[in-house]
Structure 1
Amino acid sequence: MSIPTISDYDLPVSTPVKTRANWVPERARAALLVHDMQRYFTRSFNADASPLKPLIANIARLLTFARAAEMPVFFTAQVGNQFRPDRGLQADLWGPGMSATPEHQDILPNLAPVPGDHVLVKHRYSAFQRSNLERLMRARGRDQLIIAGVYAHIGCLATAFEAFQLEIEPFPVIDAQADFTLAEHETAMGMIASTCGVPMTTEAMLATLGGVGKDQKCA
């Protein structure tokens, strides 16, 4: 019932199907969501290999750009020692979940929130469930959500589906998400491309938003 050990794989940089929507991310409309990048959820990866190492680097680039561009930045973070009725059906599939310790709860230090970022308590797969993410986005005039983090085929996918149903355009960042396997990662990107969103690479996202390349710095 626990999260499996995750074997190394190279992050994908494309989707297996053509993207149906023609939406384009705009810095005045978009917010960035860093999904579940806590120690508990990332400990199953090899810290010195792909997908985790480049995943962290790509999310860091997105964070640097979003903060410089004054785009809203949201994080999701579960809490440890959840009350069993609150944890609900997730306990049937994944067990009791994390402990209330820094070794489980902390967001990875090189991606840690800074003042001005918003940390949402995560309750279910989708970041919108039992949170005020939608309200915070609406208040800031945002109707596009850039999604990075783990796991692509579970919480990131559920968040993209719910964003679409809330009339918020989802933009999963293909190489700024990771998953249990490459196959599940690619399947999630394909499902979003064909039904509800526009997957993009980190490089394409930054270029479209008016960002910078790998060897450049934000102004």
Structure 2
Amino acid sequence: MIEVQAEPQPFVFDPGHVALLCIDFQRDFLETGGFGESLGNDVARLRNAIAPTQAVLSAFRERGWTVIHTREGHRPDLTDLFPAKRDRGNPSLRIGEEGPMGRLLVRGSAGHEIVPELAPQPGEVVLDKPGKGSFYATDLETILRARGITSLVVAGVTTEVCVQSTVREANDRGFESLVLSDCTGSYFPEFHASALAMFAAQGGIVGWVGTSADLLDALEQSPVRTEKAE
């Protein structure tokens, strides 16, 4: 077992049953010309999560542990896009409309892809989802159960939307989640802080909150394992 310093108490996981979940590190959210910027957001605020997530990704890859990437986006015909989502707010461009990186949040467009710094490697799961939560309308739970995963280390954007939705879904399904505060981010710093506080409140009612540094320190003190759980 590996113990990581975290709030509200240490996060303990079995290295044979853990996965890194990287949520929506997509060009549409982290780069100019994408969906995030169309909403009037400063996308640079999310890019601080890239470097620490790279370090965690490297550690998981070195050990041969499960890595899962998610991408939020819709079918090209938009048959999986509810009007309630499409018509929300007052963006300069709406989902499905043509932007500098292709149609916004549409599968197959350049903006839908994960940023190059965190691009998936062969053999890593890439999960496309039409909603905010990673379990909604996907086979994520099936993948986790099939691989014997019980613990999730979570990185991604944005903290208060897709990350929070996913961690709450995971909690309801019996998975334990460690959210890495420096590997997550929001366009609104106050929302980021608030979401992290909610995860760890009331004795960790939703999950645990830690840092990449504390996780990597814990891993360095444990022998490197290269086999996956069976």
TM-score scaled by length of structure 2: 0.76
Pairwise CA RMSD: 2.7
Alignment partner of 1:152 is 2:147: no
Secondary structure in structure 2 of the residue aligned to 1:141: coil
With 38-47 and 119-128 compared, the bigger mean Cα shift is at 38-47
Alignment partner of 1:59 is 2:53: yes
Secondary structure in structure 1 of the residue aligned to 2:68: strand
* 8 A contact 1:25–1:209 mirrored in 2: no
Q: Hey, what does 2:22 align to over in structure 1?
A: 34
The one of 130, 136, 148 equivalent to 2:137 is: 130
In structure 1, what residue type is equivalent to 2:180? V
The one of 11, 15, 25 equivalent to 2:13 is: 25
Q: How far apart in 1 are the matches of 2:153 and 2:79?
A: 31
Correspondence 1:4-15 to 2 at 5 A: none
Q: How far apart in 1 are the matches of 2:76 and 2:165?
A: 21
Q: Hey, what does 2:72 align to over in structure 1?
A: 78
Q: How far apart in 2 are the matches of 1:50 and 1:78?
A: 19
1:80 deviation in Å?
5.1
Secondary structure in structure 1 of the residue aligned to 2:13: coil
Q: How far apart in 1 are the matches of 2:161 and 2:57?
A: 22
In structure 1, what residue type is equivalent to 2:30? T
Question: 1:26-74: CA deviations, max 9, x gaps?
Answer: 4222100111111001124767x6551x311111111111111111100
Using the aligned pairs only, state the percent identity: 26
Q: How far apart in 2 are the matches of 1:162 and 1:154?
A: 12
Correspondence 1:38-117 to 2 at 5 A: 38-43=26-31, 44=37, 51-52=46-47, 54-79=48-73, 82-88=76-82, 89-93=84-88, 95-96=94-95, 97-99=104-106, 102-117=109-124
Q: How far apart in 2 are the matches of 1:144 and 1:24?
A: 9
Q: Hey, what does 1:198 align to over in structure 2?
A: 208
In structure 2, what residue type is equivalent to 1:126? G
Q: Hey, what does 1:9 align to over in structure 2?
A: none
Q: Hey, what does 2:3 align to over in structure 1?
A: none
Q: Which runs of 5 or more residues in structure 1 are unaligned? A: 1-14, 213-218
Q: How far apart in 2 are the matches of 1:209 and 1:137?
A: 22
In structure 2, what residue type is equivalent to 1:34? C
1:100 deviation in Å?
5.1
Structure 1 30/164 Cα, relative in aligned 2: closer, same or farther at 3 Å?
Answer: same
Q: How far apart in 2 are the matches of 1:26 and 1:144?
A: 8
Q: How far apart in 2 are the matches of 1:211 and 1:56?
A: 24
1:99 deviation in Å?
4.4
1:106 deviation in Å?
1.6
* 8 A contact 1:80–1:105 mirrored in 2: no
With 138-147 and 161-170 compared, the bigger mean Cα shift is at 138-147
Q: Aligned residue pairs: how many?
A: 196
Structure 1 77/51 Cα, relative in aligned 2: closer, same or farther at 3 Å?
Answer: closer
Q: How far apart in 1 are the matches of 2:125 and 2:75?
A: 22
Secondary structure in structure 2 of the residue aligned to 1:173: strand
In structure 1, what residue type is equivalent to 2:154? I
